[in-house]
């Protein structure tokens, strides 16, 4: 019964979305203002009904209703109830429902917080969001209905949630990621509305900016969480695999980052207008493309999702309609490219352009690498897989260039910057960075010998210190000795500096953990000791333990440093009762400067085990940096400027 209620709610939501698509758009052309205003109330109704539908599905999971195919496939009576909730979005149908819910949420947010927009623009933005909702609603109901029953013969027990997904990381990671993906639908809708109306000025850019920032913050958090989850849950100690699914999330992030920077130039200086529009379209298109790649099963991935050609065809048609349609609109209505006379020399505009070129190149190279196996296959060039070496080869130089440019950009001004000024400011951070790169690696190597000097560590330190030093010297210049000036700096300025510092920390983590990573895979008997980096690992033995829905072999490893006990680690090899799946649960002793990472491999008989011992210096900085970047984006999004202006304009309207 509950399931039918959820199903019905979903159909009502689809109908509301259909009206939301048609009425405000027609109204905007015919001049019916009440039709246009309809666009502001419908999203709230749509949100209500999708939420009802979502709650119904969650209730079906909680009550172990295995007559629902989706519940039977992804849950089990033994599953703890918090995992029953997260199981709602653990597979295809439920994730799409989450997509729809989040999209309805964003549409409602736009309806609520954009009352100060000109009615014409607001109505069109909401109409376009409605159209995307219709697409996803149809996709859900026609090809991926989570409320499908398994009648008359329903199983007594469910197949269980994939043990990999039974984890706190998976409770929060997909919603964050989807908030980001779907959030970019808002700037996309703004861009399409602007193309239809033929108006995109700095006001348009200012309205867009907070939405871009917030979506980007969620995407950043989603990617960071995903990387952290892969690190501790997959049990091999890697944090990024250049897997198609990961690439699918990184591509919109890169272009979204480019968009965030380009729109600032559009707001402040009115430049890059067509470029900003195009980036807004690209960012959301890549989110959709990512969903398509992941959900159609067109590429192989460690994230093995169920595949279904019918869904693939539907998604591709939807993609062609949305992306093809918007690019066609862009081609027909887009503003002609501007002459490059508005800025010159080492202006901030030029630096933003460099930033955009590097980010978009990085995205393109990832897109090519991700799709190349598919293209080669279609062209009958044979089955090819593109691995990490390709991605690292192209990605690393682009990021190195980006970091250097970020440091210089901090010193530049809009319109033009005197070269002399730059020459005064650059040497100080440059010298500090060079000195750090030269000397710090001498003390970081495992045995402090000259031979352990690592060039990649030197490059990493150069980049990170360069970035931090440029930020520090800019802050010193802006604040000086007068503390009171600190308060005058805007939140978006602090946000920028925080996000850029986060980038430095992240680079530090990536570079140093790669350069100084030390790992051994060994066959160990109880009592045996092994040395990795500066630590001794003593394998005490294993025992058997029982969890709520699994039994496990739990290893005990004592970690010592110069005969002092550092920590006891208990890695597990879990055997899940329901599907007989075996999971490796790594044990980690975390700290900011190094992680000790231990996982159990195979039992080799005679109480001996294959054991993987790893010491990863500074690996935690990767995610710390990611969090700082997200926080910086959030600070910039809540800048007073956006709210003050909106209050101001609503006051005017109220008076008139």
Partner 1 sequence: MNKIALFIPLVLFATLSLFLLKGLDRDPTELPSALVGEAFPAFSLPSLMDESLLSTDDFAGEVVLVNVWATWCFACRIEHPMLNQLAHQGVKIIGLNYKDQPQPARQWLEDRGNPYLFNIVDQQGSLGFDLGVTGAPETYLVDAQGIIRHRRIGVLDQAVWDREFDQRYQQLLSEDQ
Site residues, partner 1 (CB under 8 A): 274, 278, 281-282, 285, 292, 296-300, 309, 312-313, 316, 319-320, 323-324, 327-328, 330-332, 334, 336-337, 371, 373-375, 377-378, 382-383, 575, 580, 582, 602-606
Q: Are 465 and 436 in contact (CB under 8 A)?
A: yes
Q: Are 618 and 508 in contact (CB under 8 A)?
A: yes
Least spacing, CB of residue 395 vs partner 1, in Å: 21
- Distance in angstroms (rounded) separating the CA atoms of residues 432 and 317: 54
Closer residue to partner 1, CB minimum distance, 281 or 465: 281
DSSP characters for 213-281?
Answer: HHHHHHHHHHHHHHHHHHHHHSSS--S----HHHHHHHHHHHHHHHHHHHHHHHHHH--SHHHHHHHHH
Angle between helix 427-444 and 455-479 (nearest 10): 140
Closer residue to partner 1, CB minimum distance, 275 or 343: 275
| DSSP letter assigned to residue 321 | I
Least spacing, CB of residue 222 vs partner 1, in Å: 24
Closest residue by Cα to residue 104 from 32, 226, 9: 9
The strand pair at 550-561 and 564-569 is best described as antiparallel
Least spacing, CB of residue 521 vs partner 1, in Å: 11
Closer residue to partner 1, CB minimum distance, 371 or 524: 371
The strand pair at 529-532 and 587-589 is best described as unpaired
Q: Are 296 and 307 in contact (CB under 8 A)?
A: yes
Closer residue to partner 1, CB minimum distance, 67 or 274: 274
Least spacing, CB of residue 135 vs partner 1, in Å: 16
What are the b/e assignments for 393-429, b being 16+ CB within 10 Å? ebbeebbbbbbbbbbbbbbbeeeebeeeeeeebbeeb
Closer residue to partner 1, CB minimum distance, 300 or 490: 300
Closest residue by Cα to residue 571 from 597, 591, 594: 597
Least spacing, CB of residue 110 vs partner 1, in Å: 25
Closest residue by Cα to residue 125 from 187, 68, 169, 46: 187
Q: Could you write out the three-class secondary structure of 13-49?
A: HHHHHHHHHHHHHHHHHHCCHHHHHHHHHHHHHHHHH
Least spacing, CB of residue 295 vs partner 1, in Å: 12
The strand pair at 582-585 and 594-605 is best described as unpaired
Least spacing, CB of residue 293 vs partner 1, in Å: 9
Closer residue to partner 1, CB minimum distance, 61 or 282: 282
Closer residue to partner 1, CB minimum distance, 313 or 592: 313
Least spacing, CB of residue 562 vs partner 1, in Å: 34
Within 10 Å of residue 503's Cβ, how many Cβ atoms?
24
List % helix, strand, coil for the chain (3-state, nearest 5).
65, 10, 25
- Distance in angstroms (rounded) separating the CA atoms of residues 623 and 509: 8
The three-state secondary structure class of 395 is helix
Closer residue to partner 1, CB minimum distance, 260 or 286: 286
Within 10 Å of residue 476's Cβ, how many Cβ atoms?
11
Least spacing, CB of residue 236 vs partner 1, in Å: 10
Least spacing, CB of residue 237 vs partner 1, in Å: 15
Within 10 Å of residue 222's Cβ, how many Cβ atoms?
24
Quote the distance between the C-alpha of residue 457 and its chain's center.
26
Closer residue to partner 1, CB minimum distance, 331 or 484: 331
- Distance in angstroms (rounded) separating the CA atoms of residues 10 and 551: 40
Closer residue to partner 1, CB minimum distance, 386 or 422: 386
Closer residue to partner 1, CB minimum distance, 310 or 543: 310
Least spacing, CB of residue 133 vs partner 1, in Å: 22
Least spacing, CB of residue 297 vs partner 1, in Å: 7
Closer residue to partner 1, CB minimum distance, 280 or 471: 280
Closer residue to partner 1, CB minimum distance, 330 or 535: 330
Least spacing, CB of residue 607 vs partner 1, in Å: 10
Closest residue by Cα to residue 596 from 539, 534, 542, 505: 534
């Amino acid at each position: 019964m509950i399931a039918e209620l959820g199903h019905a709610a979903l159909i009502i939501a689809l109908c509301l979305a259909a009206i939301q698509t048609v009425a405000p758009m027609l109204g905007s052309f015919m001049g019916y203002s009440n039709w246009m205003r309809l666009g502001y109330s419908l999203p709230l109704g749509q949100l209500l009904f999708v939420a009802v539908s979502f709650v119904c599905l969650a209730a079906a999971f909680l009550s172990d209703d295995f007559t629902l195919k989706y519940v039977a496939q992804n849950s089990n009576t033994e599953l703890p109830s918090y995992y029953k909730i997260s199981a709602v979005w653990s597979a295809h149908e439920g994730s799409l429902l989450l997509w729809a819910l989040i999209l309805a949420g964003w549409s409602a947010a736009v309806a609520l917080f954009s009352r100060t927009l000109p009615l014409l623009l607001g109505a069109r933005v909401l109409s376009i969001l409605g159209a995307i909702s219709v697409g996803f609603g149809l996709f859900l109901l026609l090809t991926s209905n989570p409320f499908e029953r398994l009648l008359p013969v329903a199983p007594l027990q469910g197949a269980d949630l994939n043990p990999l997904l039974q984890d706190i990381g998976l409770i929060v990671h997909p919603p964050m990621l989807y908030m980001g993906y779907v959030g970019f639908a808002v700037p996309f809708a703004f861009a399409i509305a602007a193309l239809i109306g033929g108006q995109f000025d700095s006001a348009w850019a200012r309205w867009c900016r907070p939405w871009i920032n917030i979506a980007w913050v969620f995407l950043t958090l989603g990617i960071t969480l995903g990387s952290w989850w892969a690190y501790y849950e997959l049990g091999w100690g890697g944090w990024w695999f250049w897997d198609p699914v990961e690439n699918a999330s990184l591509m919109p992030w890169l272009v979204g980052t480019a968009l965030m920077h380009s729109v600032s130039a559009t707001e402040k200086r009115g430049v890059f207008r067509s470029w900003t529009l195009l980036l807004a379209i690209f960012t959301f298109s890549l989110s959709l493309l990512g969903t398509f790649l992941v959900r159609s099963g067109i590429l192989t991935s460690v994230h093995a999702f169920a595949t279904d050609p019918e869904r693939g065809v539907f998604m591709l048609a939807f993609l062609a309609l949305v992306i093809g349609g918007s690019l066609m609109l862009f081609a027909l209505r887009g503003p002609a490219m501007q002459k490059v006379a508005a800025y010159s020399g080492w202006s901030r505009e030029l630096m933003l352009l460099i930033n955009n070129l590097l980010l978009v190149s990085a995205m393109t190279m990832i897109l090519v690498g991700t799709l190349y196996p598919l293209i080669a296959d279609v062209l009958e060039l044979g089955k090819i897989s593109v691995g990490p070496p390709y991605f690292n080869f192209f990605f690393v130089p682009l990021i190195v260039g980006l970091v250097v440019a970020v440091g210089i950009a901090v010193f530049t001004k809009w319109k033009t910057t005197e070269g002399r000024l730059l020459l005064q400011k650059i040497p100080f951070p440059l010298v500090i960075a060079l000195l750090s790169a030269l000397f710090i690696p001498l003390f970081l190597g495992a045995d402090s010998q000259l031979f352990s000097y690592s060039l990649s560590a030197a490059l990493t330190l150069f980049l990170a210190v360069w970035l931090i030093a440029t930020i520090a010297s800019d802050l010193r210049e802006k604040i000086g000795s007068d503390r009171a000036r600190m308060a005058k700096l805007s939140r978006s300025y602090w946000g920028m500096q925080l996000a850029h510092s986060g980038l430095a920390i992240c680079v530090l983590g990536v570079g140093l953990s790669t350069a100084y990573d030390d790992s051994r895979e060994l066959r160990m008997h109880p009592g045996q000791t092994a040395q990795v980096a500066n630590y001794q690992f003593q394998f005490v033995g294993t025992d058997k333990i029982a969890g709520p829905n699994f039994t496990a072999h739990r290893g005990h490893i004592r970690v010592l440093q110069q005969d002092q006990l550092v920590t006891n680690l208990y890695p597990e090899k879990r055997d899940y009762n329901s599907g007989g799946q075996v999971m490796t649960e790594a044990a980690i002793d975390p700290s900011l400067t190094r992680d000790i990472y231990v996982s159990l491999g195979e039992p080799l008989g005679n109480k001996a085990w294959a054991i993987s011992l790893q010491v990863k210096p500074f690996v935690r900085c990767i995610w710390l940096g990611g969090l700082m970047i997200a926080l910086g984006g959030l600070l910039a999004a809540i800048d007073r400027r956006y709210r003050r202006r909106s209050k101001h304009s609503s006051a005017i309207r109220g008076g008139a």
